[in-house]
Amino acid sequence: MLIYLNGRLVKKEQARVSVFDHGVLYGDGVFEGIRSYNCLVFKLKEHIDRLYASAQGISLRIPITKQQMQKAVIDTLVANRLKDAYIRLVVTRGEGDLGLDPRNCPKPTIFIITDKIALYPPELYKKGLTIVTVPTRRNTPEALNPQIKSLNYLNNILGKIEAINAGVPEAIMLDQSGFVTECTGDNIFMIKDGVLMTPQISVGVLNGITRSSVLSLASKAGLEARECMITRFELFNADEVFLTGTAAEIIPVVKTDCRFIADGKVGRYTLKLIENFKKLTKKEGVRYAV
Ligand code: PXG
């Protein structure tokens, strides 16, 4: 396995970062998770744009251009001869001294891992997930904006631990007022009376790229799309609920907080959206050859 590290492709065993890297010491950095499907990198431009926007959000200047970053992603996929891959793109503040001051880190660290991704087992896409609301609230945008996809994922990890302790794989996280935000690594959607709804970005959620794709697929599935405040009560009474993310794609939810959603079966709109999303990943993206 070859890893892109600061402009070079190196063997996995040689892909090392310093213990003085502020990404390690403070979670000071940003990342992206991208997918390629049969030699097409899905929404590569959108992911690279979001990476640079996250970097801007933490005042981190990425020392290569977006074009160079795109080439680095493709080169890494080609070097590893991967047709289908999960791509992890990471930029840290770089190596520095002890102490938070980012001015001690003259050179950001950039690395790209291309590998396979273990999704949820296939039967969960047919049967649907059971999830719970967890006590840990999602970061407030005023403290650490969830739109910044930073290396500081402890908020989400705390939510994930609480879900696992409750015996389920995912967690609904609420904002400070108790409105639904998102899950620990996925956005959340509900459908009620032909309307597709998801929390608006300003409530404090990641502007998910799968989320955007699903919103634009709504009308084709016969749904009106709306970004709005959502309560737990509304989720309990939804016709359908599902999660979206680059790794999970679209995964149905059939039970939340001990309540079955509608009849507890995966809904027809969700199935339609899954089908249409699959079609999109087959035809759209930046092409490469291995
Ligand atoms: N919300 C959060 C908090 C996320 O981290 C999403 C939503 C979905 O966004 P996209 O753009 O992927 O549709 C994410 C991103 C992993 C992993 O290794 C996945 C994510 C984050 C961190 C790790 O599976 N998903």
Res 177: pLDDT: 97
User: How far, in Å, is the centroid of ligand 1 from the Cα of 209?
Assistant: 9
Q: What's the pLDDT band for 62 if we cut at 50, 70, 90?
A: very high
| Beta-carbon count within 10 A of 54 CB | 23
* Whole-number average pLDDT of the chain: 97
Q: Is the per-residue pLDDT at 184 higher than 80?
A: yes
Give percent above pLDDT 90 in the chain.
98
Residues in the chain: 290
Q: Is the per-residue pLDDT at 160 higher than 90?
A: yes
Q: Name the residue with the closest Cα to ligand 1, atom 8.
A: 245
Q: Is the per-residue pLDDT at 221 higher than 80?
A: yes
pTM of the model: 0.97
149 is known as an active-site residue: yes
Among candidates 137, 237, 163, which has minimal Cα distance to 197? 237
Place of tokens 């403070």: 26
3-state secondary structure of 256: strand
For residue 146, give the ligand 1 atom closest to its CA.
Answer: 3
Phi first, then psi, for residue 108 (nearest 5°) are: -60, 150
| Beta-carbon count within 10 A of 74 CB | 18
CATH 3.60.20.10 fits domain 122-280 = no
Contact 218, 240 (CB under 8 A): no
Q: Name the residue with the closest Cα to ligand 1, atom 5.
A: 185
Summarize pLDDT for 224-273 with one digit per residue, the tens: 999 999 999 999 999 999 999 999 999 999 999 999 999 999 999 999 99
User: How far, in Å, is the centroid of ligand 1 from the Cα of 120?
Assistant: 14
Q: Is the per-residue pLDDT at 171 higher than 90?
A: yes
Q: Could you tell me which residues come within 8 angstroms of residue 13 by beta carbon, excluding any fewer than 6 positions away? A: none
Answer yes or no: is the C-beta of 29 below 6 A from any ligand 1 atom.
Answer: no
Answer yes or no: is the C-beta of 247 below 6 A from any ligand 1 atom.
Answer: yes
Phi first, then psi, for residue 52 (nearest 5°) are: -70, -35
Burial zone of 26 (CB within 10 Å; 0-12 exposed, 13-18 middle, 19+ buried): middle
Q: Is the per-residue pLDDT at 207 higher than 90?
A: yes
Give CA 184 to chain center in angstroms.
Answer: 9
Res 272: pLDDT: 97
User: How far, in Å, is the centroid of ligand 1 from the Cα of 70?
Assistant: 20
CA 70 to CA 35: how far, in whole Å?
13
**Distances 39 to 9, 69, 74, 106, 171 between C-alpha atoms, Å:** 19, 17, 10, 35, 32
Q: Is the per-residue pLDDT at 187 higher than 90?
A: yes
Q: Name the residue with the closest Cα to ligand 1, atom 20.
A: 185
Res 98: pLDDT: 97
Answer yes or no: is the C-beta of 145 below 6 A from any ligand 1 atom.
Answer: no
User: How far, in Å, is the centroid of ligand 1 from the Cα of 246?
Assistant: 6
**Residues of each domain in the chain carrying CATH 3.20.10.10:** 122-280
Res 69: pLDDT: 98
Res 119: pLDDT: 74
Summarize pLDDT for 22-50 with one digit per residue, the tens: 999 999 999 999 999 999 999 999 999 99
Encoded amino acid at 168, one letter: V
Q: What's the pLDDT band for 89 if we cut at 50, 70, 90?
A: very high
Mean pLDDT along residues 113-135: 92
**Residue of 149, 192, 282, 283 marked active site:** 149
- Exposure b/e, 92-105, CB count within 10 A at least 16 = b: bbbbbeeeeebeeb
**Residues of each domain in the chain carrying CATH 3.30.470.10:** 2-115
Paired sense of beta strands 187-192 and 85-92, if any: unpaired
Q: What's the pLDDT band for 117 if we cut at 50, 70, 90?
A: confident
Q: Is the per-residue pLDDT at 79 higher than 90?
A: yes
Mean pLDDT along residues 101-129: 93
3-state secondary structure of 67: helix
Give percent above pLDDT 70 in the chain.
100
Sign of CA dihedral 277, 184, 47, 5: negative
Architecture of domain 2-115: 2-Layer Sandwich (3.30)
Among candidates 13, 48, 55, 23, which has minimal Cα distance to 33? 48
Q: Is the per-residue pLDDT at 118 higher than 90?
A: no
